[in-house]
Amino acid sequence: MSLNAERSYKMKLRDVENAFKYRRIPYPKRSVELIALLAISCTFFLFMHTNKLNSRLKEMEVKLQPSEFSALGLTGNHISGHDAGKHDDINTLHGTYQYLKSTGQLWRLNPKFLNNTKFHTSDIIFFNRVPKTGSETLIKLMIELGKINDFQNERSPYSKPTGMYWNVERQEQEATRILDLKEQPAFVYAEHMNYMNIRQFHLPQPIYINMIRDPVERVISWFYYKRTPWSSISMYKVTGKMYNRTYYIKNFEDCVLTNDAECRYDYGLMFKNDPGDHKRQSLFFCGHSPICEPFNTPAAIARAKQNVERDFSVVGSWEDANVTLTVLEHYIPRFFKGSMELYYEPDNGLAFLNENINHWKPKISERIKQIMRANFTQEYEFYYFCKQRLYRQYFAINKHLHF
């Protein structure tokens, strides 16, 4: 470009700039569209960034919750159920699925990391069954499965008291007695007893399984179960004692409202003198240590969670029958292969579903249940912990479900 042409171009450019500067001509329409597009793009970017931050905050909330993994040096695998009412939705199967999906955790679930069956070298199951959780139904199912999958079933005598508060020597004696019953390579033993860590006795640590139930519903069920004729007869055979008529006609709602000793659920309350008073199911997972004795305490719940995560392959619930049976079948196939089909087989299904139902139990008002739940905060923490663990195990093998 020549010098004169360059000067002419610069003068024209200066005239155009002055025209825009002093508004003698309008801005081109394309510039307005460009500015609008830029504003929309910025708004969309801010929305996406805010949504991403929200997801990350949810993940951080999970990581900051006390969990079963805290004791093992891990984080981020527990959805808190501290407040049973507040977290009601997230503690359901659907709610847990949506939470895991929205935070990106669903696709990272791996059954290899959620199944500790592989850490047990012997085909031995201890079913240290919690009373009033449907354990008789599971025993009946396992007896039938034993015929199909070729494993031995044994259970404690009906007259044997619940195994609670055993010292170390007694635990070793009981563990040895149970293992001496084993006659086949695969063996299942069921008994109402607290969890035992028998590694300290240089014995093969068994695969633990158990069932849980809504804490308040379970306590109500136990209150009326022990007043049934068959339970009273069994108790008489064991203890030689029979209660008076007042005991058998006692009403649960009145028992709670009058602060009767039988229906007190105070923080830290001890029940060592009455091992048959099953006010908390966490005791069956915590063990025989003195730390496990006080009612509804964080220390007992933390110990119970740690034991579940380390030694319990599956903790199921008949409140989620399909989920429980699916997880049992996939995580412990040696024993539970075909359990879903057998459970719903027409000739057997109704027998399983109706096992040990108490028709003497009346309906309890929601008001009474709410009063009780206020004193069962830690028990609900453990209950939801186990349920969410079960759901994670289920989703790890069924990631593509649609709700």
- Following DSSP, what letter does each residue of 133-175 receive, concatenated? SSHHHHHHHHHHHHHHHT-EEEE--TTSPPB-S--HHHHHHHH
Helices (H) and strands (E) in the chain, counts: 18, 5
Q: How would residue 69 be classed by pLDDT, with cut points 50, 70 and 90? A: very low
Task: Tell me how far apart the alpha carbons of residues 61 and 66 are, in angstroms, rounded to a whole number.
Answer: 10
pTM of the model: 0.76
Task: Tell me how far apart the alpha carbons of residues 252 and 362 are, in angstroms, rounded to a whole number.
Answer: 9
Q: How would residue 258 be classed by pLDDT, with cut points 50, 70 and 90? A: very high
> Largest Cα–Cα distance in the chain?
123
Higher pLDDT, 63 or 117: 117
**b/e code 271-306 from CB counts within 10 Å (16+ = b):** beeeeebbbbbbbbbbbbeeebbbbbbeebbbbbbb
Nearest to 217 by CA among 136, 278, 156, 144: 278
Average pLDDT for 152-162 = 91
How far lies 46's CA from each of 51, 77, 193, 274, 377, in Å? 9, 29, 57, 61, 40
For 136, phi and psi rounded to 5 degrees? Answer: -65, -35
Nearest to 389 by CA among 223, 255, 209, 221: 209
Task: Tell me how far apart the alpha carbons of residues 142 and 402 are, in angstroms, rounded to a whole number.
Answer: 31
Domains and CATH numbers, the chain: 108-398 (3.40.50.300)
Residue 12 has pLDDT above 90, yes or no: no
Considering the chain, what is the average pLDDT of its residues? 81
Q: What is the tens place of the pLDDT at every residue in 347-374?
A: 766 456 656 677 778 999 999 999 999 9
Q: What is the tens place of the pLDDT at every residue in 76-90?
A: 334 444 344 444 477
Active-site residue (options: 78, 192, 288, 330) = 192
Q: Catalytic annotation on 278?
A: no
Task: Tell me how far apart the alpha carbons of residues 255 and 243 are, in angstroms, rounded to a whole number.
Answer: 16
Type of residue found at 166 = W
**What pLDDT does residue 61 have?**
42
**What pLDDT does residue 355 have?**
61
SS3 of residue 154 by DSSP: strand
**What pLDDT does residue 263 have?**
92
- Which token pair is 236? 């008489």
Average pLDDT for 119-148 = 94
Residue 388 has pLDDT above 90, yes or no: yes
Q: Which residues contact 146 (CB under 8 A, 6 or more apart)?
A: 152, 153, 188
**What pLDDT does residue 196 have?**
96
Task: Tell me how far apart the alpha carbons of residues 170 and 398 are, in angstroms, rounded to a whole number.
Answer: 42
**What pLDDT does residue 205 have?**
86
Per the CB < 8 A criterion, the answer to whether 106 and 399 are in contact is: yes
The full length of the chain comes to 403
Q: Which residue has the tokens 């997880």?
A: 327
Determine which helix (DSSP H) or strand (DSSP E) holds 336, and give its type and residue range.
helix 333-336
Higher pLDDT, 197 or 67: 197
**What pLDDT does residue 269 have?**
82
